[in-house]
A and B are shown apart, each in its own frame.
Chain A
């Protein structure tokens, strides 16, 4: 979900309470289509603690990227459905659609934003 400023129409993702474009404070929710394209990425081999706990690391790298949605705004997310061990084959501009991943266990399990190729 994003927020649209009712004063100037600017669309924000993640949603915001204050519009940085016109300082308007009235927002309405906007559901995003979930369709986008890859604008930048990396295959992470040296992972942070949270991703190590999720099973990633030197022997199991993952892809993180920036995805521009068809509505305009862009967002950071894990990229699924690509091979992080062959980063040369991952193409900037490739179409992606929203997916969600669950990481952690028990009470510590949370849902994270991701995008998937294909």
Chain B
């Protein structure tokens, strides 16, 4: 494989996001305005919005979630960018990771100097079963969905294959959820923003307040084994193995590397980018790995000239807890089949040898699907600039994002460096 390089270097000089959560009464445009305003405030030397030349926005399914198609020009208008070119990118849950890649390519091509990349999704207006139906359209509607598969179901099937092949247990997956809730509790943008222990305490308090019997659990694992507190969604995935239904938006400002210092003295350089696709889940030779993730990772590492050992902090696509374990293997952090033990040993914790999802990940921070890929970059932006507050990883100077669409039919990986 020929190593591909960008024709022109690209840097990120601004990043912002709305809070992720459930926001009745707000539309995606409202959330995108919040993200844009925070992005603008983050540009150290200030941003005149007139410098922006085009918008690439990731959005999975505003059509089905909100009854609103053709969202890119609306987003451009509401942040004052009309009549600039505005393009929506749809690659399921990887939509804004791919939008970022398109923005990078647009600058590297020489066509533009300054690009706004966005990600948006508003999922909570629909009842759960219709959200389930909408997410399922990211699978194969002719050959997978009639079998009864849902999105939790696809990843649960990967989990059963992984357990049978390598020996992980449902308790392994619970450890991933515990860790990501610990991280998310330190993130004021996170949907949950609470440790599992905090959630247990608030459930007890609510029961007492309503005069109901107060539930007792010996510890967090007892809570996670309780079918009432943590019901099975699609075995072996339980509620606390699944990322939530979320609303949210994120915005990133990309510029040519040669222009970065006129926006900030502390830019984030994009040094690697990779993307791949894959077939329907039943057509894959292996169900315990995502080929598209391995290929996207290899492309990004080769472009960057770095190895997995160089990555200090990574945001990976933990739409379900099993997905985080598989991601840490696909990206080369651990050998195939060793990711589950590494997770159980705490290696992926904030203070472990390989911090994964310090933001809380999709599990705790929230998963407004079209915004999640851009949202991951915001954590890397904070970590590499040393402003991630209580969840800061000391000395983080190289970071990676791994954003998956559907069951891994799309994967996009980016590597960032602070110089």
Residues of A within 8 A of B (CB): 14, 39-52, 56, 58, 61-62, 64-67, 73-78, 84, 87, 92-93, 112-113
Contact = CB atoms under 8 A, between A and B. Distances in A.
A77 B147 contact: yes
User: For A39, A64, A78, which residue has the most chain B Cβ atoms within 10 angstroms?
Assistant: A64
Interface string B238-273: 000000000000000000000000000000000000
Nearest to B161: A40
Nearest to A45: B232
B225 to A, nearest CB: 13
Contacts of A67: 282
Contact of A42 (B130, B144, B231, B235): B235
Contact size class for B?
A: 35 or more
A64 B287 contact: no
B233 A64 contact: no
13 contacts: A40-B157, A41-B157, A42-B159, A44-B148, A45-B234, A46-B150, A58-B231, A64-B153, A64-B157, A74-B283, A76-B144, A76-B282, A78-B147
Nearest to B155: A42
A42 B159 CA distance: 9
A48 B150 contact: yes
Contacts of A87: 235-236
Nearest to A93: B164
Interface in B111-154: 128-130, 132-133, 136, 142-150, 152-153
Contacts, number: 106
Contacts of A50: 145-146
Contacts of A112: 146-147
Instruction: Determine chain B's interface SS by DSSP, over half rule.
Output: helix
A51 to B, nearest CB: 5
B161 A42 contact: no
A73 B282 CA distance: 8
B160 interface: yes
B156 interface: yes
B148 A62 contact: yes
B281 interface: yes
The 9 A-B residue pairs with the shortest CB-CB distance, nearest first, are A42-B156, A76-B147, A40-B157, A64-B148, A40-B161, A43-B235, A87-B235, A92-B164, A74-B282
B282 A49 contact: no
Contact of A14 (B143, B149, B159, B287): B143
Interface of B: 128-130, 132-133, 136, 142-150, 152-153, 156-161, 164, 231-237, 280-283, 287
Given A64-B149, A64-B153, A46 B234 contact: yes
Contacts of B152: 42, 44, 46
Nearest to A58: B231
Given A43-B235, A64-B149, A76-B143, A49 B157 contact: no
A49 B148 contact: no
B343 to A, nearest CB: 20
B143 A75 contact: yes
Contacts of B149: 42, 44, 64, 76
Contacts of B156: 42-43
Contact of A39 (B148, B159, B161, B235): B161
Given A44-B148, A62-B148, A49 B133 contact: yes
A84 B128 CA distance: 22
B88 to A, nearest CB: 26
Contacts of B234: 42-46
A19 to B, nearest CB: 13
Contacts of B129: 46-49, 52
B156 to A, nearest CB: 4
B160 A51 contact: no
A110 to B, nearest CB: 8
